[in-house]
Amino acid sequence: MSFSKSISLVGLLVVTGFLNSALSQVGRRPEPSPTPPSEEQEAVRVFTEEVRLPVVALDQYGHYDPTLEPDDVLVLEDGVSQQVRSVRHIPANVLLLLDTGGELSGLGGSSKQTSLTRQVAVEVMNQLPAGTSLAVMQFSNNVELIQSWTADKEVVLKVLKTKLSPGKRARFSDALVAASRLLKDKPEGSRHIVLITDGVDTAGAKTSRADAIKQLAAARATVHIISYTEFVRQQKEGRTPGISIGEVSSAHDPITATDPTLPPGTTRNPSFGVSIRFDPAMKRQRKAYEADVKKSQQVLTALAEEMGGRIFLPINSEEMISQAREAARDIGAEYVVTYRPKRPLAAAKRGEYRRIEVAPRRVGLSLRSRKGYVVPSERNE
Short-list 224, 242, 250, 334, CA closest to 287: 242
Confidence of residue 109 (pLDDT cuts 50, 70, 90): very low
At 158, phi and psi to the nearest 5? -65, -40
Please report whether residue 97 resides in a domain: yes
Please report whether residue 370 resides in a domain: no
Q: Tell me how far the alpha carbon of residue 160 is from its chain's centroid.
A: 17
- Residues 241 and 348: their CA atoms lie apart, in Å, by 55
Short-list 372, 349, 242, 365, CA closest to 302: 372
Please report whether residue 317 resides in a domain: yes
Most confident of 57-66, 201-210, 238-247: 57-66
Please report which residue ranges of 27-71 form alpha helices under DSSP H: 39-49
Alpha-carbon dihedral angle through residues 141, 145, 147, 151, given to the nearest 10 degrees: 130
Length in residues, the chain: 381
Please report whether residue 271 resides in a domain: no
Would you tell me how many other CB atoms lie within 10 Å of the CB of residue 70? Answer: 15
Q: Tell me how far the alpha carbon of residue 129 is from its chain's centroid.
A: 16
Would you tell me how many other CB atoms lie within 10 Å of the CB of residue 47? Answer: 10
In tens, the pLDDT along 330-376 reads: 999 999 999 999 999 988 988 899 999 999 999 999 999 999 998 87
Please report whether residue 130 resides in a domain: yes
Q: Which tops the pLDDT comparison, 177 or 30? A: 177
Please report whether residue 75 resides in a domain: no
- Residues 303 and 286: their CA atoms lie apart, in Å, by 25
Please report whether residue 293 resides in a domain: yes
Q: Read off the CATH number of the domain in which 324 is found.
A: 3.40.50.410
Structural domain count of the chain: 1
R_g over Cα of the chain: 33
Lowest mean pLDDT among 198-202, 235-239, 312-316: 235-239
**Range of 148's domain?**
91-237+280-342
In tens, the pLDDT along 31-44 reads: 444 444 433 333 33
Lowest mean pLDDT among 132-136, 234-238, 279-283: 234-238
Confidence of residue 48 (pLDDT cuts 50, 70, 90): low
In tens, the pLDDT along 259-306 reads: 556 566 555 555 545 455 556 777 777 788 888 888 999 999 999 999
Would you tell me how many other CB atoms lie within 10 Å of the CB of residue 268? Answer: 11
What mean pLDDT do residues 73-93 have?
Answer: 95
pLDDT value at residue 258: 53
- Residues 278 and 341: their CA atoms lie apart, in Å, by 63
Q: Which helix (H) or strand (E) holds 3?
A: helix 3-26
pLDDT value at residue 202: 83
Spatial contact of 212 and 174, defined as CB atoms under 8 Å apart:
yes
What mean pLDDT do residues 314-322 have?
Answer: 94
pLDDT value at residue 236: 65
**Whether the predicted pLDDT of 161 surpasses 70:** yes
Is the pTM higher than 0.85? The answer reads: no
**Whether the predicted pLDDT of 18 surpasses 80:** no
Confidence of residue 79 (pLDDT cuts 50, 70, 90): very high
Short-list 304, 332, 310, CA closest to 127: 332
Please report whether residue 302 resides in a domain: yes
Residue type, 322: S
pLDDT value at residue 33: 42
pLDDT value at residue 253: 47
Spatial contact of 303 and 215, defined as CB atoms under 8 Å apart:
no
Looking at the DSSP bridge assignments, the partners of residue 77 are 80, 356
Strand, coil or helix: what is 87? strand
**3-state DSSP of 309-335:** CCEECCCCHHHHHHHHHHHHHHHHCEE
pLDDT value at residue 306: 93
The percentage of residues in the chain with a pLDDT greater than 70, rounded to a whole number, is 72
- Residues 275 and 62: their CA atoms lie apart, in Å, by 50
pLDDT value at residue 80: 97
